[in-house]
């Protein structure tokens, strides 16, 4: 069993009062007075039930760090009431499930990561950039830890809005975990996203290497085909002189061939 809850990113369906046309969204640490509201939102948003110990840890500032989003323009004493939140935990990189993806200098101290546990925004405050701002708070906090090498999280495979958000924020999808979540007796896949910080970067995965080799082979085949074309139709080729005075023999369709090779050499992370 995991030492901490499996992360979720969702939006709430709970009833909320009408909001101002231009709400004043502010961010602050979650504190003990937020306990009841925090539990309520988690119950309404997530299909996974969290234990009381988790919430106590969050509001009392144990080993979980957190940020609350509030709307200071709300009337009737609701200006400090949570309308969004993010909770996270610092873990040792070597003990994490992505230890094989992290490059760091162990001589400079033991590397850490920040794992996002839960992230949520109530429905009436969606599409206002609040989730993005909360994630930025985590990234900013993590970047201030010299030995921290990244921020990572899990997202259920069918949560397309969250997946698009992470991709826009330059998180890298590094793995798909089959049957990661068990919800109401049914297994669901999860994607694992990482945002590398403080000079850390991921080594090429086997998939990346395979794509690179494939593209290299394609480029080689095209280059070989171009040479055959030149040898069989020298009238259709010409000598070009480069800036360093070296000479290259290229076919007449040089620009078109080079353009197609540049397009075919691109690849995406899965």
Binding residues: 119, 121, 127-129, 131-132, 156, 159, 164, 168
Q: Which residues contact 81 (CB under 8 A, 6 or more apart)?
A: 37, 70, 71, 74
Q: Which residues contact 11 (CB under 8 A, 6 or more apart)?
A: 45, 120, 121, 122, 123, 126, 161
Phi-psi group of 141: left, alpha or beta (phi > 0 → left; psi -120 to 50 → alpha; rest → beta): alpha
- Token pair 């033991």 is found at 110
- Token pair 């950039």 is found at 129
Q: Which residues contact 193 (CB under 8 A, 6 or more apart)?
A: 152, 153, 154, 155, 166, 171, 172, 173, 174
Question: Can you tell me the distance from the alpha carbon of 133 to that of 140, in angstroms, rounded to the nearest whole number?
Answer: 10
DSSP conformational letter for 73? T
Secondary structure of residue 188 in the 3-state scheme: strand
Dihedral sign for Cα atoms in the order 229, 235, 236, 241: positive
Annotated binding site for acetyl-CoA: 119, 121, 127-129, 131-132, 156, 159, 164, 168
DSSP state letters, 200-224? --PPPPHHHHHHHHHHHHHHHHHHH
Q: Tokens standing for 245?
A: 């005075």
Q: Tokens standing for 102?
A: 């992290």
């Amino acid at each position: 069993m995991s030492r901490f809850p499996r992360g979720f990113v969702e939006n709430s369906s709970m009833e909320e009062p009408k909001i101002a046309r231009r709400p004043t969204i502010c961010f602050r640490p979650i504190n003990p007075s937020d306990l009841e509201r925090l539990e309520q939102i988690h119950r309404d948003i997530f299909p996974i039930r969290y234990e009381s110990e988790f919430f106590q840890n969050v509001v009392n500032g144990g080993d979980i760090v957190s940020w609350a989003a509030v709307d200071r323009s709300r009337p009737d004493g609701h200006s400090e009431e949570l309308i969004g939140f993010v909770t996270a935990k610092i873990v040792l990189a070597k003990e994490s499930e992505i230890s094989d993806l992290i490059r760091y200098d162990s001589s400079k101290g033991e590397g850490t990561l920040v794992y996002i546990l839960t992230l949520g925004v109530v429905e009436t405050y969606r599409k206002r950039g609040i989730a993005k701002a909360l994630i930025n708070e985590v990234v900013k906090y993590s970047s201030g830890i010299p030995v921290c090498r990244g921020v990572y999280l899990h997202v259920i495979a069918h949560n397309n809005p969250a997946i698009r958000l992470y991709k826009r924020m330059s998180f890298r999808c590094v793995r798909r975990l089959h049957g990661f979540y068990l919800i109401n007796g049914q297994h669901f896949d999860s994607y694992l996203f990482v945002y590398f910080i403080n000079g850390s970067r991921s080594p090429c995965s086997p998939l990346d290497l395979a794509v690179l080799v494939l593209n290299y082979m394609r480029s080689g085949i095209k280059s070989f085909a171009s040479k055959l074309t030149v040898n069989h139709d020298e009238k259709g080729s010409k000598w070009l002189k480069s800036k360093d005075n070296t000479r290259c023999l290229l076919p007449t369709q040089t620009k078109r061939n080079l353009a197609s090779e540049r397009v075919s050499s691109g690849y995406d992370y899965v």
